[in-house]
Structure 1
Amino acid sequence: MSLARCILIHNTLLISRFVFCFARFNLYTQQRCGFRKAAKKVEPKRGSVEEAGQTHTEVAESLTPKRVAPPPPAPPTPTMPPRAFGRLVKPLVFTIGFTGCSFGSAAIWQYESLKSRVQSYFDEVRADWLEKIRPQKQGDLRKQINQWWNSLSEGQRTVTGIIAINALVFCCWRVPAFQRFMVTYFTSNPASKALCLPMVLSTFSHYSLFHMAANMYVLWSFSSSIVSMLGKEQFMAVYMSAGAISTFMSYVCKTATGRLGPSLGASGAIMTVLAAVCTKMPEAKLAIIFLPMYTFTAGNALKAIVALDTAGLVLGWKLFDHAAHLGGALFGIWYVLYGHELIWKNREPLVKLWHDFRTRGPGGGGGGSGSL
């Protein structure tokens, strides 16, 4: 055999081997892809047909030319449906009714206080006389508490009860068994099932100790001014009404913007107190507790607070409930300018009606006056 023929046969074998190897690789790939080989039929093992059928479907879908899907549109901004505003009708009615009941109860409370003040005068004289002839007790805890209580101003004594209620509610937040109840009734949320009671209860609710301490410190600081200006009965009516009104303002803004979420704290009612004092005494000097050397007028402080809450409401800041703050401040300004004349000074018909009821009732002696 010639050398050229041997080289030709060798090259032919190499080419055949190369083609055979390529055919095996291609067949293996096609079997994995689900294509069948017509030239060579291999009996598949049990279960391989189903596996091949599934692979064929997957590969056929992968090899089918697909249209490039356009990018999905940006998710729309969550908005409340128009019917959600219908849920605010009940809170609106509750706010109006609760405000009326607060001022009505305050008027009756003032009447009873004036009526009992005359009756208790002789009891106080008698108590002073007994105190003089009674031997004094040294270190009496009750006497020390009474001395401390008498040293407080009328405004400080009035807000002491509010601070005690806030402290009690704060302790309830620490009890795990109360968590569901506290979230339902002591946080205000327009998306919650309970809408009305939380408008008032959330005013006495604080989850953070720092939040409660800051609010109660401000309330304590301004208590003497606001109570000397309005009286304790009128102050309580304004404070309770401010809690409901500021929460309703928060409901409206949350529903309009779709930024639903729970809120709690006495900030809305305290903003009413601040706004009332600053409006009545705009030239009074105020100072920050940490920076006592920097003083500013109450009128400028009120303007800065209203501007800050307005900016927070427009820009959507989520650190505070700016709608409740702004609602409380506006209510305080309105009450000092117009509300006192429209509401409190027109309480005489209700007081006269209550006086007539008391004098006709058992034990009534007509000792009170129909006009206060």
Structure 2
Amino acid sequence: MIGIGDISPVYLSAISRSPAVALHRIASRSAVKAEQVAAGYGATGSDIATLLADDSIEMVVNLTPAIAHDALNAAIIAAGKHVYSEKPFALSAKVASELAANAARAMVMIGSAPDTLYGSVHQAARRALDDGAIGRVVFGTSFIGLPGLEMFHPNPAAFYRAGGEPPFDVGPYYIAMWINLLGPVRRVYAASGSGQAERVIRRGPLAGQSFAVEVDSTFNAILEFETASVSLVLSLDVITPMLRPGELYGSDGILALADPMFFSGEAALTTPGAGRQSLDSEGLAFSRANSRNHVGEPVADYRGVGLIDLALAIRNGKRHRTAADFIVHSVEVMEAIAIAARTHQPIVLKTTCVRPEVLDPVADADLIALTPSPFDFDPAP
């Protein structure tokens, strides 16, 4: 594993608890810090070059900041190792396509977060859609508005620079959710803006420090799919957090979607005859609450399942759900939102992808069994 930032404890827990993978090395810019973290997991700490030169390592998990993904994922592939990367896999469709082609030539596989689409509530929504619950799909909407990542992130400046803006940070969760439901995007329209020229860090050791906003922080996009269009608003300029994860409107009903940042929540179906009814996801995989969100509500969070899906694909040759075409297309959608907003021109996408398979309790029995909860959860409030 390379990178020991805020998200690393979840991955370290998931990796150390799964019999599908064995943690061998942890690398960071600070080899000393890597050694300290690795000692707690029976692994070895090292620098990145030593890790990449280790022939015993088959797969590398890249948890470094997004701005480093282009070069580091290229280096991992060049070292002949499979790679699972935090999102986004790359910052442009050109680089993502080159990395996918390099991986194919090197006969290694790539995978990428987010993997929340494996969650029970998202799988329940997909099943309902595929079963024709809302009839002919017409259009969809998603809206996330936050007052700024500086409210809870200890070092948020990177999210207000090129490569860290909303389409590349929070956007991947929503893009993956909609591709899982509707397939590949054909065309993107977008506009953008920014509410503040400067932000102030609110928590952590840097609290009180200000930094410049270098990119737009609100994006209003239209994603045009083969069967429908989706309005997607991603904003860091909403003074009170607001969340409408998604609604999909069809000729016969409305499908309400859950927050794509987590594996659980509520998905519901509204039809003229029956009104609004919650979709039952209790019997599906990754449904049990094992953590709490930022407001203390119990949620299911099984980050790492995508990594295990890739590990199993390496061994058995079965296609995993964030395969190369899915990754490249997702990155192109992120980039297209930013370009369309900047140029005021619609962007016709050049790539496409296969819609991920629905989780099957039989065919995916190994994946389900080998994916642990990264958390020890106390359900008591």
Normalising by structure 2, report the TM-score.
0.22
Greater share of residues in strand: 2
Say which one has the larger Rg. Answer: 1
Greater share of residues in helix: 1
The structure with higher relative contact order (CA 8 Å, sep 6+) is 2
